[in-house]
Amino acid sequence: MSKKRPRPAASLREDAPGNATTTQRPAQWWEKRVFKNTYTHNGKLMEVKSWSVKIQHQGRRRTFSLTSKRRADAAREAARLYQQIVKQGWPSVRRSSQKDVSASRETLDPTAREEPSKMSARYWENRLLQRRYPNSMNSDPEWAVRIEHEGLGACFPLGTPDTTAAANKALTIYKTVSGKGWETACQRHPREVTLAIHWVSNPVTWTYTTFHSEMTNRPLQPITEDEAVLRVVVVEPDASIRRALQHWINLQRGVRCVATCVSAEETFQQTSTGPNSLWLINRALPRVTGTACLERIQQLFPRACALLFSVYEDSSQLFAATPGGVAAYLLRRTPPEKLLDPICAEAPVAPLSPQEILVRVRKYFQGCLNFAPAGETNRALESLTNREREILQYLSKGYVDKEIAMRLGISAWTVHGHVKNIFEKLNVHTRTEAVVKLLQK
């Protein structure tokens, strides 16, 4: 959300020339100082419905949201709020636990409705997110919700475009999370998962996709010894992610998931899966790291190939977690049913070796660079100023506004303004999308 930039401090002092004195600030004076915040959505600048005001007194300044709908009423509300601060001091205004919420809701208007509890559907109705999932049976965008509890968070698809039904389901999921824990909630409800396959480490050459974890078991499909398919073994401790991976791998032409393992120890007990096999291993396995598991598999099955993958709550975490100090970054989003396209896009799938995988991966990404419609993206990136490019580089490393401000020696307000300009020039709506355009340059 974009906030109005504060005016210079000198113009906001009580004794500044042209300013009304403490006793000469009627509603008409405040009517020119109330404003509405803005935010960017789908490339358009949107304005919030409620009015806000900045109040400065005794060297302190705060922004307040106002409950009144009309400008004149909001100005009167701001005047009453200012008089209260002047007469009773700043402590008389109780600060909300959330960001700069209207003191008038708390002290000036006792009849104002309080923030609904997390244990009510009305609370979650205001926090629904709209998603359009490619595998959905509904033509309308479905609702999803991000739930955070005890320092952890996840995004849950709600499976409906109906607002009331979605809010009730979000409440049910939150009650499960808060009452029975994250493990139980993830066993009962599907959640969004972003998965990245590490094809090459330097330069970073990854593909990533987003899918839903699955709650129901799917039996493994038997294959004959002479069947010409790429046999995949999945090593993933989370059962719901393991089921989803099995489902999407089996949708890939010429590929079959022949086994799944919960841990590295179970993996080491596997018998040979055939000459044409691929092991997909979660980098964050318990007890034994994914890297150590991969090295052990290569010793046990010399003819097999193995790749690491990582699982994230969302794409933002993926970009923040990419390793530093490498020559280049190539991160490409793929549909979940084309998870293994870098090695399986060309048929038939021959017996693979690490060298063959490397050749196919290089060819796949070279094709993406040759035929990707990058002209418009490059022109948009070229339109950025030097400062905007510098800030975009910091965003790609996962820095937040305050950290960028400290490194560049500017205010967080200035950084926020540059980020807003970057969004508009690149025609994006999130920091993740902006970073993707930078990485795909």
Same fold, 192-371 and 375-439: no
Span 191-215, mean pLDDT?
90
Q: Per the omega criterion (within 30 degrees of 0), is the bond before 203 cis?
A: yes
Residue 251, pLDDT > 80, answer yes
- Tell me the pLDDT tens digit for each residue of 397-436: 778 888 888 888 888 888 988 998 898 888 888 787 787 7
Where helices occur in 68-181 by DSSP H, the ranges are: 71-88, 103, 121-125, 163-180
Cα(318)–Cα(221) distance, integer angstroms = 32
Please tell me the predicted confidence (pLDDT) of residue 102: 40
**DSSP notation for 101-121:** --HIIIII-TTSPPPPPTTSH
pTM: 0.60
Cα(199)–Cα(327) distance, integer angstroms = 15
Residue 58: which region, alpha, beta or left (left: phi > 0; alpha: psi -120 to 50)?
left
Please tell me the predicted confidence (pLDDT) of residue 177: 93
Confidence band, pLDDT 50/70/90 cuts, at residue 17: very low
**DSSP notation for 133-164:** -TT-S-SSPEEEEEEEETTEEEEEE-S-S-HH
Confidence band, pLDDT 50/70/90 cuts, at residue 303: confident
Architecture label for domain 375-439: Orthogonal Bundle (1.10)
Residue 129: its H or E element: strand 128-131
Identify whether the C-beta of residue 270 lies closer than 8 Å to the C-beta of residue 233.
yes
- Residue 345 three-state SS: coil
Residue 328, pLDDT > 80, answer no
Span 213-240, mean pLDDT?
83
Cα(264)–Cα(80) distance, integer angstroms = 66
Confidence band, pLDDT 50/70/90 cuts, at residue 151: confident
Q: Per the omega criterion (within 30 degrees of 0), is the bond before 237 cis?
A: no
Beta bridge pairs of residue 256: 231
Burial of 136 (0-12, 13-18, 19+ CB in 10 A): middle
Span 361-372, mean pLDDT?
73
Please tell me the predicted confidence (pLDDT) of residue 172: 95
**Structural tokens at position 84:** 């209260």
Cα(250)–Cα(229) distance, integer angstroms = 11
Cα(128)–Cα(298) distance, integer angstroms = 45
Residue 354, pLDDT > 90, answer no
Q: Specify the CATH number of the domain 192-371.
A: 3.40.50.2300
Domain limits, the chain: 9-108, 121-188, 192-371, 375-439
pLDDT: is 300 or 157 the higher one? 157
Considering only CA atoms, give the Rg of the chain: 27
pLDDT: is 349 or 384 the higher one? 384
Q: How far is CA 234 from CA 69, 79, 286, 303, 401, in A?
A: 56, 64, 15, 17, 39
What is the rounded average pLDDT for all residues in the chain? 80
Say which residue the tokens 């419609």 belong to.
373
Span 202-219, mean pLDDT?
88
Identify whether the C-beta of residue 258 lies closer than 8 Å to the C-beta of residue 231.
yes
- Tell me the pLDDT tens digit for each residue of 158-200: 988 899 999 999 999 999 999 999 999 999 999 999 999 999 8
Size (the chain), residues: 441
Please tell me the predicted confidence (pLDDT) of residue 393: 85
Confidence band, pLDDT 50/70/90 cuts, at residue 376: low
Please tell me the predicted confidence (pLDDT) of residue 322: 77
